[in-house]
Structure 1
Amino acid sequence: MDYILYEVNGAVGTITINREKALNALNSQVLDELNATLDAVDLDTVRCLILTGAGEKSFVAGADIGEMSTLSKAEGEAFGKKGNDVFRKLETFPIPVIAAVNGFALGGGCEISMSCDIRICSDNAVFGQPEVGLGITPGFGGTQRLARLVSPGMAKQLIYTARNIKAAEAYRIGLVNQVVSAEVNEAGEVVVSAKDALMAAANKMAAGIAMQAPIAVRNCKKAINEGLQVDMDQAIVIEEKLFGDCFETEDQRAGMANFLEKDKEKKLKVVPFKNC
């Protein structure tokens, strides 16, 4: 792997797009390596993934314009399909994926973050779909996921104007779940950088997810993703099936037995009130 780093700490895996000199821009090789990395994740041990970009300046600045500039119509469509296939794999990945967004998340960077389940960003993050300024449309799912995440009207405004937005506005419109700032001391000196604070917050959330029953978490992701694609009557059937699939599993039996045992112990500790 030239451009993708992957490390595992306990039940949390971290994928880093490591093309810092190019602001982690996505070219065909990066997409191929990301696809291969996802295929190599050990789903028996890893319960949550974090996706981030190398360095302080950029999460992913977009797709590689140098590579795209000479593409024919057919080649452009094929490049869009390559990106969409990888992003769809990320979106439907069995375990939750948290995007830890630092700096630029433009074009393909915004699109790959939207393929993740949860987005946490540093306060220096910048989001946008600037493609129309380059004479193209968002090609890695931007026209579809942005409208679903925020609203059709807001998505159209951002896409038609090619306007970038900062972290605070991304949070306000619901594009990100959390904004993290650098930590400073009383003298105003930075003691924890924005990137380090971001990764700490992402790891804390990932660890919290990894503590939960893994089959239940996976089924929740599947139920939400699939349910959003159909009407409510069909969505409820999807939920019922995945709810039922949790029963007779070790997770369900242990989780409920543990709850009942704690409830029993709690009741035994209650001292009856006596009138004096």
Structure 2
Amino acid sequence: MADTVRFDIEDDVATITVDRPESLNALNVETLQALHDAVDEAEAEEARVLVLTGAGDDAFVAGADISYMAEMDSQEAHEYAELGHDLADAIESFPAPVVAAINGYAFGGGMELALACDLRVASETAVLGQTEIDLGIIPGWGATQRLPRLVDDETARRLIYFGDRLDATDAHEEGIVGDVVAHDELDDHVASLAADLAAKSRTALRAAKDAINQSHETPLDAGLDYERRTWAGLFGSHDQREGMAAFLEDRDPDFE
């Protein structure tokens, strides 16, 4: 793994940190590939929760590397888009909840990686935006598809068309982030949230994530059918038996 990305795991919570603070954690090819390797490592380690964040106090991920993109031709741009899409898809399909700890600027590709996460928690100093329009391009790592699924269609269009930047409070009001906390409380808040998730049933959380993701990909009737089958398939598992026994016995469950 490149030295532009840090990977840590403790108490079943994996943390991936983009470590290019001198470049506001912008994503060059090396960093994109290292991030994908880190996501794969978190899966191999069977992390129950994955946290994605950026190094320093200024940026989560300020975006893709514009100095690298400036002279790309169409074929090179396609290959670069594939790298970003592959990473965002790996985050979205990760077999456990993924939490974006947005500690500063999250522009362009940085916001797109946050959109691929399950949950987003922002520092009160964070600023988010799909700013690609001012570069003469559009979002290329998934925002044209994920953002309208998260907020209403017109809000997504306005954010993409105008390239507006939202502070953390406005992003929360639009439903882009779930929590806004004081900057110096972000790490503790995310750690507490991750610990709560890690204590839940691994199999049930994965099933819930898969079922919710289906709602983005299928008509309602197919999604409901998937939910029914997934729900029924959990019965007979250790966690289902243990969870219900613990409820009936008025004790905390001991999930696998």
TM-score for both structures, normalised by structure 2:
0.95
Q: How far apart in 2 are the matches of 1:104 and 1:227?
A: 29
User: Contact 1:12 / 1:48 at 8 angstroms: preserved in 2?
Assistant: yes
Partner of 1:187: none
Q: How far is 1:45 from its partner?
A: 4.4
Is residue 21 of structure 1 aligned with residue 9 of structure 2?
no
Partner of 2:254: none
Q: How far apart in 2 are the matches of 1:229 and 1:105?
A: 26
Q: How far apart in 2 are the matches of 1:228 and 1:42?
A: 23
Secondary structure of residue in 1 paired with 2:249: helix
Q: How far apart in 2 are the matches of 1:56 and 1:41?
A: 24
Percent identity (aligned): 40
Deviates more, 1:40-49 or 1:59-68: 40-49
User: Contact 2:43 / 2:94 at 8 angstroms: preserved in 1?
Assistant: no
Q: How far apart in 2 are the matches of 1:143 and 1:227?
A: 17
CA displacement, residues 211-249 of structure 1 (integer Å, 9 cap, x when unaligned)? 111100110000000123212211111101111221111
Secondary structure of residue in 1 paired with 2:8: strand
Is residue 212 of structure 1 aligned with residue 200 of structure 2?
yes
Task: List gaps (5 residues or longer) in structure 2.
Answer: 252-256
User: Contact 2:5 / 2:35 at 8 angstroms: preserved in 1?
Assistant: yes
User: Contact 1:227 / 1:238 at 8 angstroms: preserved in 2?
Assistant: no
Q: How far apart in 2 are the matches of 1:46 and 1:74?
A: 36
User: Contact 2:27 / 2:61 at 8 angstroms: preserved in 1?
Assistant: yes
1:1-276 equivalences under 5 Å are 1-42=2-43, 45-181=46-182, 194=183, 196-262=184-250
Q: How far apart in 2 are the matches of 1:168 and 1:254?
A: 40
Q: How far apart in 2 are the matches of 1:160 and 1:256?
A: 49
Q: How far apart in 2 are the matches of 1:141 and 1:105?
A: 14
Q: How far is 1:73 from its partner?
A: 0.7
User: Contact 1:13 / 1:49 at 8 angstroms: preserved in 2?
Assistant: yes
Q: How far is 1:262 from its partner?
A: 2.3
Q: How far apart in 2 are the matches of 1:116 and 1:60?
A: 14
Secondary structure of residue in 2 paired with 1:84: helix
Give the number of the structure whose alpha-carbon radius of gyration is greater.
1
Task: List gaps (5 residues or longer) in structure 1.
Answer: 182-193, 264-276
Q: How far is 1:121 from its partner?
A: 0.2
CA displacement, residues 163-193 of structure 1 (integer Å, 9 cap, x when unaligned)? 1111111000100000001xxxxxxxxxxxx
Structure 1 residues 43, 210: closer, same or farther in 2, change over 3 A?
Answer: farther
Q: How far is 1:67 from its partner?
A: 0.6
Q: How far apart in 1 are the matches of 2:68 and 2:41?
A: 27
Q: How far apart in 1 are the matches of 2:139 and 2:169?
A: 23
Q: State the superposition RMSD in angstroms.
A: 1.2
CA displacement, residues 35-61 of structure 1 (integer Å, 9 cap, x when unaligned)? 111111255642001100000000000
User: Number of aligned pairs?
Assistant: 250
Letter in 2 for 1:237: D
User: Contact 1:63 / 1:109 at 8 angstroms: preserved in 2?
Assistant: yes
Q: How far apart in 2 are the matches of 1:213 and 1:81?
A: 33
TM-score for both structures, normalised by structure 1:
0.88
